[in-house]
């Protein structure tokens, strides 16, 4: 008699799969972050005399700074996901307590919400 018991967490093997995906994404994010930071530093060391060039350089530097900040935030979220893997709480929706579907975690490995949990959270914020 096979009972239909809902899993409460992912297996250690599944967690290791997710860990590999996260580590790969983290490596790419760090490379992007380093690239953006080197671009920002290069722009700071350039001394231009043309006012138009200076304005474009400032705008480019601001955009690169914003992208670098987003990359850093993404890296922190991925690090949080790694901690949840170590604690064996990875993949559990923080709103519903149910497992987040594997497909969602493959697409957004740092998420802490299932689609259902995200909808509930958005409704609560809308009040």
Judge whether 38 and 74 are in contact, CB under 8 Å. Answer: no
- In the chain (127 residues long), the average pLDDT of successive 10-residue segments reads 65 96 97 92 61 67 92 97 97 96 95 95 86
Pair 15, 90: CB distance under 8 Å = yes
CB atoms within 10 A of CB 64: 19
- pTM (predicted TM-score): 0.80
pLDDT, position 43: 62
Helix/strand/coil for 32: helix
57 neighbors 43 (Cβ within 8 angstroms): yes
CB atoms within 10 A of CB 100: 23
d(CA 127, CA 33): 37
Phi, psi of 69 (to 5 degrees): -65, -40
């Amino acid at each position: 008699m096979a009972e239909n018991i809902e899993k409460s967490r992912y297996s250690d093997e599944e967690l290791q799969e997710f860990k590999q995906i996260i580590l790969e994404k983290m490596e790419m994010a760090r490379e992007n972050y380093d690239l953006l930071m080197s671009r920002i530093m290069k722009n700071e060391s350039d001394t231009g005399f043309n006012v138009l060039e200076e304005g474009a350089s400032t705008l480019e530097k601001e955009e690169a700074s914003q992208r670098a900040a987003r990359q850093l935030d993404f890296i922190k979220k991925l690090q949080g996901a790694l901690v949840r893997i170590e604690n064996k709480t990875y993949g559990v929706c923080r709103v519903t307590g149910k497992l987040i579907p594997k497909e969602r975690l493959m697409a957004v490995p740092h998420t802490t919400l299932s689609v259902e949990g995200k909808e509930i959270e958005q409704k609560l914020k809308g009040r």
